[in-house]
Amino acid sequence: MSIEPQPDRVELGSASHRGQVRDHNEDSLVAAVPDLGRNPYGVEAVIAVADGIGGHLAGEVASRLAAETVMEVFAPREGTKRRLRLLSAPRWGLRKAVSLANARVYERSEREAASRQMGTTLTIVLLHQGRYVLGHVGDSRAYLITESAIKQVSEDHTWVAAQVREGVLTEEEAAQSPFRNQIVRSIGVTKRVRPDVTSGEMPPDGIVLVCSDGLTDMVPDETIGEVLHGSRDLQTACAQLVDLANENGGHDNITVVAARYVEPESGAASEEAGSRAEEADEPEEADPA
């Protein structure tokens, strides 16, 4: 039995900054409550982070293409004649978004010399009928956070993470490894890419967070959880997390997006967050992708 989506029950927050070292921001983000009349997958919210790879503005191009593709799939500007009501429909949409984003970045990289070897991470979380649905490639992260715990629900696609899973390195050794940022799976580097796709129940107090490694390299997981549940709203929490990452060094671009279900009377917060796919720079001034 299907449950009708209720987008007025969603609150979003997002923030991004280039950090203290980089001279520009290669991250892009999506934070959207799709119009159900234009949303073939019936999702109530879509959040995503793309962390560009390649330098010399190429990573910026790759992440923007990925964010625009996510918006095109889940929040199209033109309506659709049908809505897929199966519980598995969002998984189809995630695979479509990842495949299409990969093809667009790869083709652009092959066509333009200035964009050669560019790529991007892409981590997408959908809210759908009381559940989160995750599609993930790269080392940007997705977390499920409650008042009592924070759990990483994505798996880092890095060389050191694979070594930890195989028991070759400890977590402490991985954190100090010179290869800790070596990504082994990303968008646009090969003709095809396989995303991790998974889902789970959203607890009553649950928050889903998607972020670039510019946050997680600078701010401990426990602090991330405390800030999100200790702030008056998600927009404030996201801005505070970006500030903390900058205070702790800001060694990379920092991007944070969060979403949760709220009681209907509190749903106005989602309207303030709006629907946007951004190639983000300063938190107070973000240009739409």
| Domain boundaries, given as residue ranges, for the chain | 7-155+189-284
Q: What percent of the chain shows pLDDT beyond 70?
A: 84
Return the minimum-mean-pLDDT range out of 62-71, 75-84, 160-169, 275-284: 275-284
Cβ count within 10 A of residue 249: 13
104: three-class secondary structure by DSSP: helix
* pLDDT over 80 (residue 87): no
pLDDT at 284: 39
Distance from C-alpha of 91 to C-alpha of 198, rounded to nearest angstrom: 8
pLDDT: which is higher, 283 or 158: 158
* pLDDT over 50 (residue 109): yes
Instruction: Let me know: does 98 contact 61? Beta carbons within 8 Å.
Output: no
pLDDT at 231: 95
pLDDT at 86: 58
First to last CA, the chain: 37
| Phi, then psi, of 138 in degrees rounded to 5 | 110, -155
pLDDT at 286: 40
* pLDDT over 90 (residue 285): no
Return the minimum-mean-pLDDT range out of 70-84, 151-165, 183-197, 221-235: 70-84
Placement of tokens 């940022």 in the chain: 181
* pLDDT over 50 (residue 270): no
* pLDDT over 90 (residue 271): no
Question: Average of pLDDT values for 120-141?
Answer: 97
| Phi, then psi, of 191 in degrees rounded to 5 | -65, -35
Name the pLDDT band for 174 (thresholds 50, 70, 90).
Answer: confident
pLDDT at 179: 82
pLDDT at 117: 82
Question: Average of pLDDT values for 8-25?
Answer: 94
Cβ count within 10 A of residue 53: 23
> Taking the mean position of all CA atoms in its chain, how far away is CA 114?
26
Name the pLDDT band for 45 (thresholds 50, 70, 90).
Answer: very high
CATH 3.60.40.10 fits 7-155+189-284, yes or no: yes
